[in-house]
Amino acid sequence: MAKTIEIGYARDCRTGNFIVTKLNSTFHANSKHRRQQIIVLPGAFFHALPTVDRRSVANVIDITVSQAVDLGFILPPAETEAAACVSAVPA
């Protein structure tokens, strides 16, 4: 089973772009640590996540590591190497 990452997204009503946040349950709301937050153009967002409804303006979903990389998140090497090993092993 592929490792999943939880993200939250919201569409900016002014620009139409998506504000996407990589969620981490170890960070509480008042944590000093920063969450990764990126701005993604709608075309790139729906290309990386084709199952998301195009009418959706905000949600929290689980995505694969490869989808997170396609969106533009910077992931630790351990997460990306694990995804590469999983996809390289024939089923």
How far, in Å, CA of 48 to CA of 53, rounded? 13
The domain segmentation of the chain, as residue ranges, is: 4-88
For the entire predicted model, the pTM comes to: 0.76
Read off the pLDDT band of 26 (50, 70, 90).
confident
Q: pLDDT of 65-91, one tens digit each?
A: 999 999 999 888 876 555 555 555 555
Q: Give the number of other CB atoms < 10 A from CB of residue 71.
A: 21
